[in-house]
């Protein structure tokens, strides 16, 4: 029995060593591989489609300028269907089979959180363009994101509602998914710290269409405001039913509201809702160029996340180019050195704005307060969080 | 008046919410229970037949008119779309019966049930593929402004669901009790071979049953879609809740479907409010009610206990 | 590439154990259970909670999770004793939804929609195996598959198995022959749930995280398809079914076309499997073929003579 164990153990050791996690040598004729992971099929396929298209543009631009010392970059797109259990085989393939150097993804926080430890172990630099869960960058030194963290959004909004809009009590109606619940809890903590009161907290399940019971209970508590940090499908139902029930309060939401589908679903009911999102960046040539290229190639308009995806891909590609060394006919790429370059990203000229990673690998970002006028989004204020202080940027 | 520390107008609103939700369940349960009553068969794909008809109605409605315009044209377009939806659902219902259930008529009861589950999965996913997974808005062909009743609100559509449900229930009962075809259906439900011997075309009756049940589903679907939007998984939870409603009221019993639906709607709404549990657990209430009824009085509220092993 | 293939084997193994359990309930006893995923979920979450909050090591958590799932098997087995086939099925479906509902709402225990991550790896002797150590995991899982297979085979070939099949063929007749149908039905549910709980435990420990939406109705259907496809009431065939189903699910990714093939097609395939198998090859649970007593007696005699 012992001999069997020893034998099995050595086999296992052999395989783990033999499978070479770093894969640093690219032979002549081979390509340098990076990846995009997101929902390419399923409910959220549109997100994946828009973002992967942005990454394709980045890769093609890069190859057009000579790639990495003459080596072409190949983009591998993996579908995770937006599901945690599908992220696993996806990252396994990318790490084990394709041995990619960089990953733009995943799209959903739950998948990113699941996939991050494996990307970390495989030393793949991962930059998520849209996963906003506060815990993500802490999953490893190779994990970054160029989208604003939920924690930041909720904290800023908690302060904003209490100190700027001077709301004393608020009711929250959130959905039991990571995004909505995370925002709701963090907002509540901050709002109460600032002296506000959350007088009603109601929940619903993802996919629920009937919120009348919750809204009836909320109406009974007579709040000044209603915070609904959800995705647009639920928000549309809530807006409609709140109106039906005669619930007349100020309505606030979060960046999920920035999905223009809300206008198809709720129409004019969306007017007047105030919500948070990453602050609008001043117009830049990089952005206008990218948007033009995107529109002409894909006849789609890029969304905010696509800008992040494009930038994330460029940061990865630039880092690869910076550390790549020719070794005879082959190319040597050191993953650790690549990571260091990415970590030092400061004021990177991105289509989404100037990108700087903090020491905890999160995106340093400002928050914008937006509203809707006549079914159009409009930024009304911009804030920066400096420690505990909310500073308005005029 | 304060009951459970809830003010009376809030309580009234909860009551109305529960009733309107129950009316929705009742409407869907009608078709479900009808098929079961005649054929003793749980058509697991009933929800998906509802969904397909709803999509058909949605597309035709938006092709025929611009709902925002309002007026007679929109109303006519809506009625036409509703009729079209009924035909589409009936077609699917009859076809599915032919292809997936009829070959299994002699098989033990589990076989057609599994087949029905399979059909349900196929239809739902094909719908997601063809129509996309994003919700679509089914506009009201009329002004759906809130009406206040004693401090609580209700909308015309919700009232319509209640009234349509009642009308359909009464019509269905009259049809089955009084008409010749209805008599043939009752005969078939008692004993298919004997009915056949009596000269009844059993295949036709079964197809007719499915056609009517499916058409009813389409009506339910469109009324509900206006409240809740159109999306591929409309049929899933709707089908399950309707089944629970039918069982609670007495499966196979038309009035039972109405009663069961209302009871379920009220239980879900008030259960959450009174027990003070999160709204997210309302489905747990519904399914617990199912299991309890199956344990305690499996024949449902309205049916006397038959000495049959259920 | 090897890692990816091992991953597929790991999933086949985990689902295989759950499928063997389900086969006992559906294939041998003839009870259509649509909540196997719920038992997997209960096992997975039990392990997750025990290993993260109570710091229990995997092997203890593994057994306890199986037992907790088994307990839940009894919980659903008892109320459904008197239910006829299709009602039973819907009741189990309801149970599955209840479990999923409770998991997502019971934040204090299960962390709700956030799920539980950071489950420590499996400790064996002096080694800790995480999801990066595919080969050890594959071996461990398949050892359990073999154990599960062997246990169920012993049961099925014994008097218990015959009782279960008698119940499947004609419950009233079986009862009048003196078989305590209640005992056997609940027993089948319990054991089937136990295996699913173990499978769930392995799932949680391997992935080192659990999320509420994973253990849904479609997962129950997937496992059901494995036994329907493979051949109901036949355990070796169940493993074959598991292999076919898991491979077909991962094939698009392996071939690199997972972006073009929508996941809905995979589910449509499952739907077709159910419809097709019922119409053309429904042998096993729902075959009302009378037991061939002569054949069974002959086999018993041959078996005794060995």
DSSP state letters, A111-152: HHHHHHHHHHHTT-EEEESS---TTGGGG-TTEEESS--HHH
The confidence score (pLDDT) of residue C28 equals: 87
The confidence score (pLDDT) of residue A4 equals: 54
Whether C108 has its CB under 8 Å from any CB of chain A: the answer is no
Residue C162 has pLDDT above 90, yes or no: no
Cα–Cα dist A217/B4, whole Å: 13
Read off the pLDDT of residues B254-309 as tens digits, 9 standing for 90 and up: 889 999 999 999 999 999 888 888 888 989 999 999 989 888 887 777 776 554 44
Residues 6+ apart with CB under 8 A from B279: A202, A203, A204, A208, A213, A214, B272
Q: Average pLDDT in the C167-193 region?
A: 88
Read off the pLDDT of residues A209-245 as tens digits, 9 standing for 90 and up: 999 999 999 999 999 999 999 988 999 999 999 999 9
> Is residue C208 within 8 Å of residue C196, measured between CB atoms?
no
Residue C295 has pLDDT above 80, yes or no: no
Q: In this structure, are strands C122-124 and C127-129 parallel, antiparallel, or unpaired?
A: antiparallel
DSSP state of C181: H
**Rg (alpha carbons) of chain C, rounded to whole number:** 19
Range of A288-297, B83-92, C279-288 with top mean pLDDT: B83-92
Residue C229 has pLDDT above 90, yes or no: no
Read off the pLDDT of residues A269-325 as tens digits, 9 standing for 90 and up: 999 999 998 888 787 899 999 999 999 998 878 888 899 999 999 999 999 999 988
The confidence score (pLDDT) of residue B228 equals: 93
pLDDT band at A260 (very low <50, low <70, confident <90, very high): confident
Mutant choice from C279, C287, C289 vs B, greatest count of B C-beta within 10 A: C279
Residue B75 has pLDDT above 80, yes or no: yes
pLDDT band at B126 (very low <50, low <70, confident <90, very high): very high
| Domain A21-147+303-355 coded CATH 3.10.310.70 | no
Read off the pLDDT of residues A311-320 as tens digits, 9 standing for 90 and up: 999 999 999 9
- CB-nearest to C98 from B125, B243, B287 is B287
Mutant choice from B100, B118, B128, B284 vs C, greatest count of C C-beta within 10 A: B118
- CA B258 to chain CA mean position, Å: 10
The confidence score (pLDDT) of residue B309 equals: 41
Place of tokens 């969306």: A270
Q: Which two tokens stand for residue A8?
A: 């099995």
Q: Average pLDDT in the A342-371 region?
A: 90
The confidence score (pLDDT) of residue A8 equals: 57
For chain A, the farthest-separated pair of C-alpha atoms sits apart, in whole angstroms, at: 76
A217 to B273: CB separation less than 8 angstroms, yes or no: yes
The confidence score (pLDDT) of residue A19 equals: 41
Read off the pLDDT of residues C29-71 as tens digits, 9 standing for 90 and up: 889 999 999 999 999 999 999 999 988 889 999 999 999 999 9
Helices B254-275 and B234-249, packing angle to 10 deg: 110
Q: Which two tokens stand for residue C130?
A: 């995480």
Residue C306 has pLDDT above 60, yes or no: no
Residues 6+ apart with CB under 8 A from B185: B38, B176, B205, B208, B209
A328 vs C216 pLDDT, higher one: C216
In a 10 Å sphere around its CB, with 0-12 CB exposed, 13-18 middle and 19+ buried, how is residue C256 labelled?
middle
C115 to A121: CB separation less than 8 angstroms, yes or no: no
Q: In this structure, are strands B147-149 and A367-373 parallel, antiparallel, or unpaired?
A: unpaired
pTM for the structure as a whole: 0.88
* CA dihedral (B197, B198, B199, B200) positive or negative: negative
Read off the pLDDT of residues A98-130 as tens digits, 9 standing for 90 and up: 899 999 989 998 899 989 988 998 999 999 999
Q: Is residue A51 helix, strand or coil? A: helix
Torsion of CA C215, C221, C225, C231, to 10 degrees: 100
Smallest Cα distance from C305 to chain B, Å: 37
Read off the pLDDT of residues A169-216 as tens digits, 9 standing for 90 and up: 999 999 998 889 999 999 999 999 999 999 999 999 988 999 999 999
A209 to B272: CB separation less than 8 angstroms, yes or no: no
B110 to C102: CB separation less than 8 angstroms, yes or no: no
Average of per-residue pLDDT values in chain B: 89
pLDDT band at A390 (very low <50, low <70, confident <90, very high): confident
Residue B66 has pLDDT above 70, yes or no: yes
- CB-nearest to A212 from B17, B136, B148 is B17
Separation in Å, CA A320 to CA A328, A332, B64:
18, 10, 56
What is the domain partition of chain A in residue ranges? 21-147+303-355, 151-258+260-280+367-392
DSSP state letters, B164-211: HHHHHHHHHHHHHHHSHHHHHHHHHHH-HHHHHHTT--HHHHHHHHHH
The confidence score (pLDDT) of residue B213 equals: 94
Whether B228 has its CB under 8 Å from any CB of chain A: the answer is yes
| Domain C2-305 coded CATH 1.10.3470 | yes
Percent of chain A with pLDDT over 90: 56
- Under 8 Å CB pairs connecting chains A and C tally to 99
Whether B205 has its CB under 8 Å from any CB of chain C: the answer is no
Residues 6+ apart with CB under 8 A from C3: A19, A92, A95, A96, A97, C134
Residue A157 has pLDDT above 80, yes or no: yes
| Cis? peptide before A76, omega within 30° of 0 | no
pLDDT band at C285 (very low <50, low <70, confident <90, very high): very low
Cα–Cα dist C62/C199, whole Å: 9
Instruction: Tell me the CATH number of domain B2-296, given options 1.10.3470, 1.10.287, 1.10.150, 3.30.1890.
Output: 1.10.3470
Smallest Cα distance from C4 to chain A, Å: 6
The confidence score (pLDDT) of residue B117 equals: 94
Average of per-residue pLDDT values in chain A: 88
The confidence score (pLDDT) of residue A392 equals: 86
The arrangement of secondary structure in A151-258+260-280+367-392, i.e. its CATH architecture, is 3-Layer(aba) Sandwich (3.40)
Least confident of C24-33, C104-113, C135-144, C280-289: C280-289
The confidence score (pLDDT) of residue A22 equals: 46
Read off the pLDDT of residues A15-71 as tens digits, 9 standing for 90 and up: 444 444 444 788 888 889 999 999 987 777 788 888 999 999 999 999 999 888 889
pLDDT band at C12 (very low <50, low <70, confident <90, very high): very high
> Is A151-258+260-280+367-392 in the same CATH topology as A21-147+303-355?
yes
Least confident of B12-16, B243-247, C174-178: C174-178
Secondary structure E strands in A132-272:
143-145, 169-175, 197-204, 225-227, 250-253
The confidence score (pLDDT) of residue A18 equals: 40
Contacts of C84 in chain B (CB under 8 A): 109, 309-310
The confidence score (pLDDT) of residue B278 equals: 86
Cα–Cα dist B53/B65, whole Å: 18
Q: Between residues 77 and 136 of chain B, which touch chain A (CB distance below 8 Å)? A: 133-136
Instruction: Name the phi and psi angles at A303, rounded to 5.
Output: -95, 180
What is the domain partition of chain C in residue ranges? 2-305
Residue C132 has pLDDT above 80, yes or no: no
- Under 8 Å CB pairs connecting chains B and C tally to 131
C258 to A78: CB separation less than 8 angstroms, yes or no: yes
Smallest Cα distance from A49 to chain B, Å: 14
The confidence score (pLDDT) of residue C283 equals: 62
> Is residue B22 within 8 Å of residue A210, measured between CB atoms?
no
> Is residue C122 within 8 Å of residue C129, measured between CB atoms?
yes
Q: Which two tokens stand for residue C77?
A: 């087995």
In a 10 Å sphere around its CB, with 0-12 CB exposed, 13-18 middle and 19+ buried, how is residue C302 labelled?
exposed
The confidence score (pLDDT) of residue A42 equals: 72
């Amino acid at each position: 029995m012992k001999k069997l164990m020893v034998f099995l153990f050595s086999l296992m050791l052999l395989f783990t060593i033999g499978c070479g996690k770093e894969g640093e040598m690219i032979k002549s004729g081979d390509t340098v591989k990076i990846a995009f992971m997101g929902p390419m099929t399923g409910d959220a396929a549109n997100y994946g489609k828009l973002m992967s298209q942005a990454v394709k543009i980045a890769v093609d631009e890069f190859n057009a300028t000579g790639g990495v010392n003459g080596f072409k970059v190949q983009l591998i797109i993996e579908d995770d269907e937006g599901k945690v259990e599908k992220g696993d085989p996806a990252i396994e393939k990318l790490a084990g089979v394709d041995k990619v150097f960089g990953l733009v993804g995943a799209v959903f926080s739950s998948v990113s959180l699941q996939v991050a430890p494996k990307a970390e172990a495989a030393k793949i630099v991962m930059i998520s363009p849209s996963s906003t869960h506060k815990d993500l960058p802490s999953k490893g030194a190779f994990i970054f994101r160029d989208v604003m963290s939920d924690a930041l959004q909720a904290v800023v909004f908690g302060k904003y509602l209490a100190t700027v809009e001077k709301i004393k009590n608020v009711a929250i109606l959130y959905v039991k998914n990571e995004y909505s619940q995370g925002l709701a809890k963090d907002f509540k903590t901050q709002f109460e710290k600032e002296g506000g009161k959350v007088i009603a907290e109601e929940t619903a399940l993802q996919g629920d269409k009937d919120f009348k019971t919750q809204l009836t209970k909320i109406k009974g508590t007579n709040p000044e405001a209603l915070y609904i940090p959800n995705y647009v499908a639920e928000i549309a139902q809530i807006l409609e039913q709140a109106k039906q029930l005669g619930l007349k309060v100020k309505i606030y939401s979060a960046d999920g509201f920035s999905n223009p589908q809300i206008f198809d679903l709720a129409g004019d009911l969306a007017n007047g809702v105030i919500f948070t999102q990453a602050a609008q960046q001043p117009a830049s040539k990089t952005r206008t160029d990218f948007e033009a290229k995107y529109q002409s190639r894909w006849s789609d308009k890029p969304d905010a996340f696509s800008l992040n995806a494009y930038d994330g891909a460029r940061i990865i590609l630039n880092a690869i180019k910076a550390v790549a060394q020719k070794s005879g006919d082959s190319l040597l790429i050191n993953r650790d050195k690549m990571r260091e370059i990415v970590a030092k990203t400061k004021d990177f000229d991105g289509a989404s704005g100037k990108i700087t990673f903090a020491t905890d690998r999160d995106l340093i970002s400002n928050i914008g307060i937006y509203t809707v006028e006549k079914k159009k989004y409009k930024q009304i204020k911009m804030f920066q969080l400096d420690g505990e202080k909310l500073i308005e940027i005029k | 008046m304060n009951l459970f520390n809830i003010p009376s107008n809030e309580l009234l609103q909860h009551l109305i919410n529960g009733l309107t939700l129950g009316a929705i369940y009742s409407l869907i349960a009608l078709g479900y229970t009808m098929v079961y009553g005649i054929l003793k068969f749980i058509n697991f794909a009933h929800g998906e037949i509802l969904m397909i008809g709803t999509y058909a109605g949605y597309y035709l409605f938006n092709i025929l008119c611009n709902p925002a315009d309002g007026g007679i044209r929109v109303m006519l377009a809506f009625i036409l779309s509703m009729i079209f939806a009924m035909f589409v659902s009936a077609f699917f219902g009859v076809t599915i019966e032919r292809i997936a259930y009829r070959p299994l008529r002699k098989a033990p009861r589990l076989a057609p049930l599994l087949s029905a589950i399979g059909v349900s999965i196929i239809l739902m996913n094909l719908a997601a593929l063809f129509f996309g997974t994003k919700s679509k808005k089914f506009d009201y062909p009329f002004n759906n402004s809130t009406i206040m009743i004693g401090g609580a609100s209700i909308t015309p559509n919700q009232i319509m669901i209640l009234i349509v449900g009642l009308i359909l229930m009464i019509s269905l009962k009259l049809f089955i009790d009084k008409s010749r075809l209805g008599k043939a259906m009752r005969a078939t439900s008692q004993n298919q071979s004997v009915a056949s011997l009596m000269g009844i075309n059993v295949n036709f009756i079964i197809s007719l049953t499915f056609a009517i049940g499916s058409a009813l589903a389409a009506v339910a679907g469109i009324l509900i879609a206006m409240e809740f939007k159109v999306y591929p998984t409309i049929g899933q939870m709707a089908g399950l809740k309707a089944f629970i409603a039918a069982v609670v009221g007495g499966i196979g019993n038309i009035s039972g479907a109405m009663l069961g639906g209302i009871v379920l709607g009220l239980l879900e709404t008030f259960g959450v409010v009174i027990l003070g549990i999160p709204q997210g657990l309302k489905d747990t209430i519904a399914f617990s009610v199912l299991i309890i009824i199956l344990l305690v009085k499996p024949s449902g509220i309205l049916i006397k206990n038959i000495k049959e092993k259920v | 590439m090897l890692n990816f293939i091992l991953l597929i084997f790991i999933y086949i193994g985990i689902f295989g154990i759950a499928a063997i359990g389900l086969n006992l309930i559906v294939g041998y006893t003839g009870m259509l259970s649509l909540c196997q995923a719920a038992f997997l979920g209960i096992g997975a979450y039990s392990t997750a909670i025990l290993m993260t909050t109570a710091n229990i090591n995997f092997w203890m958590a593994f057994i306890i999770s199986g037992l907790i799932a088994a307990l839940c098997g009894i919980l659903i087995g008892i109320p459904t004793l008197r239910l006829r086939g299709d009602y039973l099925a819907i009741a189990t479906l309801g149970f599955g939804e209840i479990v999923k509902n409770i998991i997502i709402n019971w934040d204090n225990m299960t962390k709700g929609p956030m799920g539980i991550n950071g489950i420590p790896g499996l400790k064996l002797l002096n080694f800790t195996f995480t999801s990066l150590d595919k080969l050890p995991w594959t071996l461990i899982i398949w050892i359990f598959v073999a154990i599960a297979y062997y246990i169920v085979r012993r049961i099925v070939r014994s008097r218990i198995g015959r009782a279960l099949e008698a119940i499947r063929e004609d419950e009233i007749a079986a009862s009048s022959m003196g078989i305590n149908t209640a005992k056997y039905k609940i027993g089948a549910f319990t054991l089937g749930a136990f295996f699913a709980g173990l499978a769930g435990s392995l799932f949680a420990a391997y992935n080192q995280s659990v999320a509420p939406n994973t253990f849904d109705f479609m997962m129950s259907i997937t496992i059901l398809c494995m036994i329907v496809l493979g051949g109901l009431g036949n355990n070796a065939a169940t493993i074959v079914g598991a292999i076919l189903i898991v491979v077909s699910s991962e094939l698009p990714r392996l071939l690199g076309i997972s972006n073009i093939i929508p996941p809905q097609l995979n589910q449509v395939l499952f739907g077709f499997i159910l419809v097709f198998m019922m119409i053309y090859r429904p042998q096993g649970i729902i075959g009302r073929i009378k037991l061939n007593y002569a054949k069974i007696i002959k086999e018993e005699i041959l078996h005794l003579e060995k």
